[in-house]
Structure 1
């Protein structure tokens, strides 16, 4: 897995364009919104778990927030680097556990195509790939609690609308399907494996620089 992540990030680094003409504006954006993680397909094993249970758990509503810096490219393309954070709780992980949270901090490269239209409201589509650091905390009914992290490959598909308020300021809303390779967590006497994907709805603002 580590070799795969290194190769992927190296490829992304070389895919970022080199210096471009100064006419290509730079921008900075912020986003926030709800994160609807799909039901978690999880498995548990270890000395603190009986029967190595496996199955789906209901996931509570979570949130996503992040920031990005990027540049406009010719032919309505954009590219950016994004830092984001997501977190969700599992409603009923197992009878022996009362609290289980899973989240991810991600560093991704996103590419966009702004679909040309003759209106201030403009649709766009995008794709992102990068590195995620999945983090999980587990607490049982007897006072035991622990936290673990796992590096994963992350990707997302993006579609949305943007409104250009003026030559410096734009607002946008987008849907994102976010997913990672399955993280593997190790707690004291418990091994938990789960999937991590979500449907995110975000609102954001973008500031353009001359």
Structure 2
């Protein structure tokens, strides 16, 4: 099922457009279901300083489903985001499966009759981590945002079982994939998949038995899958650019007038004067009328 969750989240990330808030900081809270992988543990046992047992994968720790919560804060540079993450993972311990040869050696060494049924842990494992993540956004700014990324940091792992507890810290890395979508100008909702893995963890203990000091060194790493819902607040989201102003109206046509001669001129101009009438004909000769 964990592989299907990874494929689903990665598929959504590749197929979806994006809704990142470029050039803005953000802070978010994430929480969801934790699926720890079984932990194979190497064992080294000494008696008065001399090694009496050195076994790889001597036993396996099984976990129940737990929870994973994180606080993230970062900055969106555009297609790339950089964020810091504080995380807490917790799950109860189911049981421990000890290799039969190791269990036989323990029974022979201490004259015991332990069986697998006697090894119900009844405790829990807690992981606190600080990580720096780099994320690549896929898509555009107006819809669902897919992303892929990875992170590195430091993890502190504490086991509590058999009425005792022990802890160690180690380098950690993780792979991330998910989707998120805006529900308001500043708030995004999201779904994230995480694969988390620590470096080697070492737990040391010693005890006295039958006048012999025994030392034990347990080594292993912690890894898990998580499916998380997220709520992210974006600071200073850039407002949408206002629409451009409408173009100015064309200038009004100037007023005109039509003159008597049929010409059209500006209303502020004067029409041309009409042509002068022709001169009257000269008068007739009076002497000629008398004859």
TM range (shorter): 0.7 to 0.9
Q: How many residues align?
A: 181
Q: Match for residue 126 of structure 1?
A: 149
Deviations 1:64-109 (A, max 9, x none): 10101111113x1111111001122321126345334222100110
Deviations 1:99-136 (A, max 9, x none): 34222100110111110147521211111101111111
1:152-167 maps to which residues of 2 (within 5 A)?
Answer: 152-167=170-185
* Contact 1:37–1:197 (CA under 8 A) maintained in structure 2: yes
Change (3 A) 1:54 1:89: farther
Match of 2:222 among 188, 196, 205: 196
- The range that moved more, 118-127 or 176-185, is 118-127
* Contact 1:136–1:185 (CA under 8 A) maintained in structure 2: no
* Contact 2:75–2:82 (CA under 8 A) maintained in structure 1: yes
**What is the rounded CA distance, in whole Å, between the counterparts of 1:132 and 1:118 in structure 2?**
34
Q: Match for residue 27 of structure 2?
A: 28
2:53 pairs with 1:40: no
**What is the rounded CA distance, in whole Å, between the counterparts of 1:125 and 1:155 in structure 2?**
14
Q: Match for residue 86 of structure 1?
A: 89
Q: TM-score, length-normalised on structure 1?
A: 0.77
**What is the rounded CA distance, in whole Å, between the counterparts of 1:85 and 1:188 in structure 2?**
29
2:134 pairs with 1:111: yes
Change (3 A) 1:63 1:161: same
* Contact 2:94–2:120 (CA under 8 A) maintained in structure 1: no
Q: TM-score, length-normalised on structure 2?
A: 0.57
Q: Match for residue 62 of structure 1?
A: 66
RMSD of aligned residue pairs (Cα, Å):
2.4
Unaligned runs of 5+ in 1: 1-22, 140-144
Q: Match for residue 174 of structure 1?
A: 192
Secondary structure of 2:185's counterpart equals: coil
Structure number, greater radius of gyration: 2
**What is the rounded CA distance, in whole Å, between the counterparts of 1:179 and 1:28 in structure 2?**
24
2:150 pairs with 1:150: no
Query: Once the 2 structures are TM-superposed, how far is the Cα of residue 56 of structure 1 from its aligned partner?
Result: 2.6
**What is the rounded CA distance, in whole Å, between the counterparts of 2:217 and 2:33 in structure 1?**
28
Deviations 1:23-66 (A, max 9, x none): 8211100000111011221234558xx97681333221111101
Q: Which has the higher strand share?
A: 1
* Contact 1:147–1:187 (CA under 8 A) maintained in structure 2: no
Change (3 A) 1:39 1:185: same
